[in-house]
Amino acid sequence: MGARVVSVILSDMSIARYLARLGYGTRREAEYLLAQRRVTTPDGQVVRDRDAFQHTSLYVDGAPLDPPPGAVLLLNKPLGYVCSTSDRPPLVYDLFPTRFLARTPIMAPVGRLDADTSGLLLLTDDGVLNHRLTSPRSHLPKTYEVTLAEPVRGHEVDRFASGTLMLQGETTPLRPARLVVTGERTATLCLHEGRYHQVRRMFAATGNHVVSLHRAAFGALTLGSLAAGTWRVLAPHEVDALRASATKRPTT
| 39/189 with CB nearer ligand URA | 189
Q: Is 236 exposed, middle or buried (0-12, 13-18, 19+ CB in 10 A)?
A: middle
Q: Which of 74, 69, 83, 56 is nearest to 20 (CA)?
A: 69
Site for ligand URA contains 138 (CB under 6 A): no
We find the least distance from the C-beta atom of residue 186 to ligand URA, in angstroms, to be 16
Smallest gap from Cβ 108 to ligand URA, in A, equals 16
- Judged by beta carbon, residue 15 or residue 121, the one nearer ligand URA is 121
Exactly one of 114, 116, 125, 126 is catalytic; which is it?
114
| Residue from the set 14, 57, 117, 124 that interacts with ligand URA by CB under 6 A | 117
Q: At what angle do helices 127-134 and 236-245 cross, to 10 degrees?
A: 40
Choosing from 72, 74, 165, 213, the residue that interacts with ligand URA (CB under 6 A) is 213
Stretch that binds ligand URA, among 17-25, 110-118, 149-157, 220-228 (CB under 6 A): 110-118
Q: What is the largest CA-CA distance in the chain?
A: 68
Q: Which is nearer to ligand URA, 40 or 222 (CB)?
A: 222
Beta strand 63-64 with 39-40 is: unpaired
Give ∠ CA 26-131-199 in degrees, rounded to 5. Answer: 115
**113 is a contact residue toward ligand URA (CB under 6 A):** yes
DSSP class per residue in 98-133 = GGGGG-SS--EESS---TTEEEEEEEES-HHHHHHH
**Strand pairing category for 39-40 and 59-60:** antiparallel
Report DSSP state, residue 95. G
140 touching ligand URA, by CB under 6 A: no
Asked whether position 165 contacts ligand URA by CB under 6 A, the answer is: no
Closest approach, Cβ 149 to ligand URA, in A, equals 14
Closer by beta carbon to ligand URA, 88 or else 237: 88
27 phi and psi angles, rounded to 5 deg: -60, -40
Establish if 200 lies at the interface with ligand URA (CB under 6 A): yes
Strand 117-124 vs strand 72-77: parallel, antiparallel, or unpaired?
antiparallel
Catalytic residue check, 61:
no
Residue at 122: amino acid letter: L
Nearer to ligand URA, 29 or 170 (CB): 170
Which are the catalytic amino acids?
A: 114
Residues within the interface to ligand URA (CB under 6 A): 113-114, 117, 197-200, 213
